[in-house]
């Protein structure tokens, strides 16, 4: 095997060709494994701490994996920590074994002059590249108490789904539709081609900034997240119809709520939701979510909606909760790894003590 580490931001010129060859044999399972998402990260999100592992052999590429390499101090020791970002993933060829991936990663980092002491993986989902890396470790998976994600299954007809829905949900939606109809005409528009996506994305940003997120959580106040999502949405729209869309619920043509969505391998991912604060009494976000569920139930290429995180409001949509995991894997061949192992052991003891 041949391995190399690419350092820092804006590495897509080197990563992209390898990613494309690997994707032909290991298709993306989620939008996080799409070339458009990976490119958006390198161009808009990555800092000097960003790294890419590239693994190849005579038969072609085996792995392209993004990670972050940081440092911390334990007494006089400098400890290098390799971590995964929650909203990143890599691509792996099926013939690359987990133990080989871990070994090649540590060896490549050592040869690059940045030996790794600790692997700290967060937000790990089953089936991801980081789950494969975790499987090559002797450290166990720990369920994240504050993690998890919700999935709404849409592999039935919309009539079947609505028949299974709770009476509270159906009654609430009926009342919301009636309130909306008394105020004006309700329509749902879908922007999927590049020019329409660009316009609808900017409209989404304006709607989101009208509400409680305006001060902190809105894209308008988070320039890096704004740049990543806009880059991804526009690049994906240019790559092919149906891969992403901006869905907007309108009152007499004016936006009341909006969604950013992406479709990969049978899963529609609900990237972000916004509603106009002045129209909150009409429950526009719920009405648009109901329309999304019905639409996905009738789409042959979608059988589930991934809600990305786990939130209390997901329950009303009968979402299935799935855990995410974390891994703390120490490199026992490194002094920093040995010291970190002791620290993790002490931390575990404290957690088991009363009040810990």
pLDDT tens by residue, 285-295: 999 999 999 99
Query: Is the pLDDT score of 335 beyond 90?
Result: no
C-alpha closest to that of 256 among 339, 162, 188: 188
Query: Is the pLDDT score of 94 beyond 50?
Result: yes
| Domain residue ranges of the chain, discontinuous segments joined by + | 2-146+324-352, 149-321
DSSP for 285-353?
HHHHHHHHHHHHHH-TT--EEE-SS--GGGGGGTPEEE--EEEEEE-TTSHHHHHHHHHHHHHHHHHHS
For 233, left (φ over 0), alpha (ψ -120 to 50), or beta? Answer: alpha
Query: Is the pLDDT score of 124 beyond 60?
Result: yes
CATH class of 2-146+324-352: alpha beta
Residue 262 contacts residue 244 (beta carbons within 8 Å): yes
Kindly provide the b/e burial profile for residues 187-211, where b requires at least 16 CB atoms within 10 angstroms of the residue's own CB. eebebbeeeebbebbebbbbbbbbb
Query: Is the pLDDT score of 268 beyond 60?
Result: yes
As given in the structure block, the two tokens for residue 80 are 């290098």
* 149-321: CATH, from 3.40.630.30, 3.40.50.620, 3.30.930.10, 2.40.50.140: 3.40.630.30
Query: What pLDDT was estimated at residue 76?
Result: 81
| Domains 2-146+324-352 and 149-321 are alike in CATH topology | yes
Mean pLDDT confidence for 99-128: 94
Across all residues in the chain, what is the average pLDDT? 91
Q: Give the span between the Cα atoms of 130 and 119, in whole angstroms.
A: 11
pLDDT tens by residue, 29-83: 999 999 999 999 999 999 999 999 999 999 999 999 999 999 888 778 888 999 9
Query: What pLDDT was estimated at residue 351?
Result: 38
3-class SS of residue 140: coil
> Pairing mode, if any, of strands 2-7 and 60-74?
unpaired
Query: Is the pLDDT score of 346 beyond 50?
Result: no
Q: Give the span between the Cα atoms of 253 and 241, in whole angstroms.
A: 24
213: DSSP letter:
G
Residue 272 contacts residue 261 (beta carbons within 8 Å): no
Residue 325 contacts residue 141 (beta carbons within 8 Å): yes
As given in the structure block, the two tokens for residue 264 are 């990969």
DSSP for 30-87?
SGGGSHHHHHHIIIII--TTEEEEEEEETTEEEEEEEEEEEEEEETTEEEEEEE--TT
Q: How many CB atoms lie within 10 A of CB 167?
A: 7
């Amino acid at each position: 095997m041949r391995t190399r580490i690419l350092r820092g931001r804006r590495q897509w010129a080197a990563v992209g060709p390898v990613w494309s060859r690997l994707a032909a044999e290991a298709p993306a399972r989620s939008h996080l494994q799409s070339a458009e998402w990976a490119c958006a990260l390198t161009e808009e999100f990555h800092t000097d701490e960003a790294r890419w592992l590239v693994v190849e052999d005579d038969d072609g590429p085996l792995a392209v994996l993004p990670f972050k390499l940081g440092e911390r101090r334990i007494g006089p020791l400098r400890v290098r920590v390799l971590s995964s970002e929650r909203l990143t993933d890599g691509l792996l060829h099926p013939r690359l074994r987990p133990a080989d991936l871990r070994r090649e990663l540590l060896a490549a980092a050592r040869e690059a002059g940045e030996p790794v002491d600790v692997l700290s993986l967060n937000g790990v989902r089953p089936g991801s590249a980081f789950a494969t890396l975790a499987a090559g470790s002797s450290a166990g998976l720990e369920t994240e108490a504050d993690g998890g994600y919700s999935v709404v299954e849409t592999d039935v007809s919309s009539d079947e789904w609505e028949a299974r829905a709770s009476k509270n949900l159906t009654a609430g939606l009926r009342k919301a539709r009636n309130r909306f109809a008394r105020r004006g005409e309700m329509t749902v528009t879908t922007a999927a081609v590049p020019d329409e996506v660009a316009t609808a994305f900017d409209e989404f940003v304006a709607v989101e900034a009208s509400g409680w997120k305006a001060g902190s959580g809105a894209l308008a106040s988070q320039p890096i997240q704004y740049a990543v999502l806009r880059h991804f949405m526009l690049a994906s729209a240019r790559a092919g119809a149906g891969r992403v869309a901006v869905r907007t619920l309108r009152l007499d043509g004016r936006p009341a709520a909006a969604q950013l969505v992406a479709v990969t391998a049978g899963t529609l991912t609900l990237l972000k939701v916004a509603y106009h604060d002045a129209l909150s009494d009409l429950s526009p976000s719920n009405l648009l979510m109901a329309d999304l569920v019905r639409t996905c139930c009738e789409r042959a290429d979608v059988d589930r909606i991934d809600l990305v995180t786990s939130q209390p409001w997901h329950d009303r949509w009968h979402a299935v909760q799935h855990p995410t995991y974390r891994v703390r894997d120490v490199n026992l061949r490194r002094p920093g790894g040995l010291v970190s192992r002791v620290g993790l052991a002490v931390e575990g003891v404290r957690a088991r003590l009363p009040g810990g």
